[in-house]
């Protein structure tokens, strides 16, 4: 079984690991020189309903990446506005840990390997190609190219390329495998524009006042009130609508992920310098965080609940590519399922759909239904807040009790399914 994963964000890494674990020969192609994609600028996990999703994956035997995040957490059980029991992984350590996990599982990693074309036979992908013209064939493919950028989208739908961790000018922008296979993708909107701004910026921790640095190191979180005349309202432009609370407009909310993660899409530097503790603040990601941020959700692939891309024979998708699902947890959950189903696809077996009696299964199915209702793709869905968490809470699928989650997984016939 030869499986090719395109995109080395959390979704692609989870898919590659799961498929390799099941015995496939897996090649992962990443256009930059680092794994984790937008996960390099993130770090928050286990907050609100993401705790349940991570525990379900562990109970199903597909939780290795959550264990790895736990092992590389800088802070645990952190609370900030609207968010409970969050962990913050160390953005410096996690990429190396994921690299080792994939290498040890036998995944063939190709860096600086942007996939630029696909060779098709009807609805079947036979092979993909890099710019140098090298051709790589496989039995099944996974599109985990995300939805961030490329530069043209950040310029057209945002405030210009703000030079984020994806480094499109150096490595070439995101290019979707689904689009290369002829699939018509869809996009989210915010008002009259397309996509949504990424919702946080990273400040160099050493550029903050000593007392702020100390507070961040000690507590993992710091809230600094913004004087009313300096406030900026970007709440409805954010991809992560779980943070669309007034508290994020009235305060600078900082989290310690290694950088100081500032929970706003962008904030003018001259204004920031006027806030106590930020006199010397400078941006680390995106470099032009005073002006803008990356634009996401302009290229999602229509898919079924088993994550097969509609209109294709041997292409699955995961992460943001699989719909307006925001987050590392969401990317890992869909990545594991896509990796598992790629193996089933190779074996000619029926693909797995996670049952709706589980928070993870309900999320994958319900989000797909909601997305194609009027305005549905413009909402963002995450286990950590907003409409998806409300829906899962109504269905009583959110729990912090590992025994309850394990029993539920057992009853659904899913215990250790991914093991």
Q: Which residues bind ligand FAD (CB under 6 A)?
A: 6-12, 29-32, 37-39, 41-45, 114-115, 144-146, 148, 166, 174-175, 198, 200, 294, 319-321, 326-329, 331
**Around Cβ 77, how many Cβ atoms within 10 Å?**
11
264: left (phi over 0), alpha (psi -120 to 50) or beta: beta
Toward ligand FAD, which CB reaches closer, 24 or 34? Answer: 34
Toward ligand FAD, which CB reaches closer, 115 or 181? Answer: 115
Toward ligand FAD, which CB reaches closer, 7 or 63? Answer: 7
Strand order in the sheet with 221-225: 221-225, 251-256, 260-262, 201-203, 283-285
Q: How far is the CB of 365 from ligand FAD (least distance, A)?
A: 18
309 - beta bridge partners? 303
Toward ligand FAD, which CB reaches closer, 44 or 57? Answer: 44
**Three-class SS of 5-20:** EECCEHHHHHHHHHHH
Toward ligand FAD, which CB reaches closer, 368 or 412? Answer: 368
SS3 184: coil
| Helix locations, 244-327, DSSP H | 247-250, 269-272
Q: How far is the CB of 399 from ligand FAD (least distance, A)?
A: 19
Toward ligand FAD, which CB reaches closer, 13 or 412? Answer: 13
Q: How far is the CB of 21 from ligand FAD (least distance, A)?
A: 18
* C-beta separation of 388 from 381 below 8 A: yes
CA distance 172 to 163: 13
Q: How far is the CB of 148 from ligand FAD (least distance, A)?
A: 4
Q: How far is the CB of 387 from ligand FAD (least distance, A)?
A: 16
CA distance 37 to 39: 5
Q: How far is the CB of 392 from ligand FAD (least distance, A)?
A: 16
Q: How far is the CB of 145 from ligand FAD (least distance, A)?
A: 4
Toward ligand FAD, which CB reaches closer, 342 or 412? Answer: 342
Before 403, cis peptide (omega within 30)? no
Toward ligand FAD, which CB reaches closer, 44 or 346? Answer: 44
| Helix locations, 123-235, DSSP H | 151-157, 168-171, 177-180, 210-219
Q: How far is the CB of 157 from ligand FAD (least distance, A)?
A: 14
Half-sphere exposure of 285 (CA within 13 A, CB side): 21
């Amino acid at each position: 079984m030869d499986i090719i994963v395109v995109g080395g964000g959390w979704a692609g890494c989870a898919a590659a690991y799961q498929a390799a674990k099941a015995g496939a020969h897996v090649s992962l192609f990443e256009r930059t020189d680092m794994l984790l994609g937008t996960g390099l600028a993130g770090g928050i996990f286990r907050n609100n309903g993401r705790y349940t999703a991570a525990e379900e994956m562990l109970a199903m035997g597909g939780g290795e990446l959550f264990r790895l995040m736990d092992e590389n957490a800088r802070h645990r059980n952190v609370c900030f506005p609207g968010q409970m029991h969050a962990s913050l992984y160390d953005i410096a350590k996690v990429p190396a840990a994921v690299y080792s996990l994939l290498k040890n599982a036998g995944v063939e990693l190709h860096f600086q390997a942007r996939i630029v074309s696909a060779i098709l036979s009807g609805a079947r992908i036979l092979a993909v190609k890099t710019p140098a013209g090298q051709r790589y064939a496989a039995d099944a493919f996974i599109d985990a190219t995300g939805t961030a950028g490329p530069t043209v989208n950040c310029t057209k739908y945002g405030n210009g390329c703000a030079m984020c961790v994806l480094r499109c000018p150096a490595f070439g922008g995101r290019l979707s495998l689904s689009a290369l296979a002829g699939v018509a993708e869809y996009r989210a909107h915010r008002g009259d524009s397309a996509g949504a701004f990424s919702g946080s910026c990273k400040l160099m921790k050493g550029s903050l006042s000593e007392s702020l640095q100390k507070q961040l190191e000690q507590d993992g979180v710091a809230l600094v009130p913004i004087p009313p005349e300096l406030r900026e309202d970007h709440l409805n432009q954010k991809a992560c609508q779980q943070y669309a609370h007034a508290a994020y407009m009235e305060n600078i909310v900082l989290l310690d992920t290694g950088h100081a993660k500032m929970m706003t899409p962008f904030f003018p530097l001259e204004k920031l310098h006027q806030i106590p503790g930020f006199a010397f603040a400078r941006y680390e990601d995106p470099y032009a965080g005073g002006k803008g941020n990356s634009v996401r959700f302009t290229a999602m692939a229509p898919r079924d609940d088993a994550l097969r891309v509609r209109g294709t024979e041997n292409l699955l998708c995961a992460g943001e590519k699989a719909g307006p699902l925001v987050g590392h947890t969401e990317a890992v959950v869909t990545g594991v399922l896509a990796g598992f189903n790629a193996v089933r696809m190779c074996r000619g077996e029926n693909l797995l759909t996670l049952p709706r009696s589980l928070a993870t299964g309900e999320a994958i199915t319900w989000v797909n239904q909601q997305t194609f209702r009027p305005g549905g793709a413009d909402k963002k869905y995450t286990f950590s807040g907003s409409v998806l968490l409300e829906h899962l809470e109504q269905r009583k699928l959110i729990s912090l009790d590992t025994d309850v989650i394990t029993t539920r997984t057992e009853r659904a016939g899913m215990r250790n399914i991914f093991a």
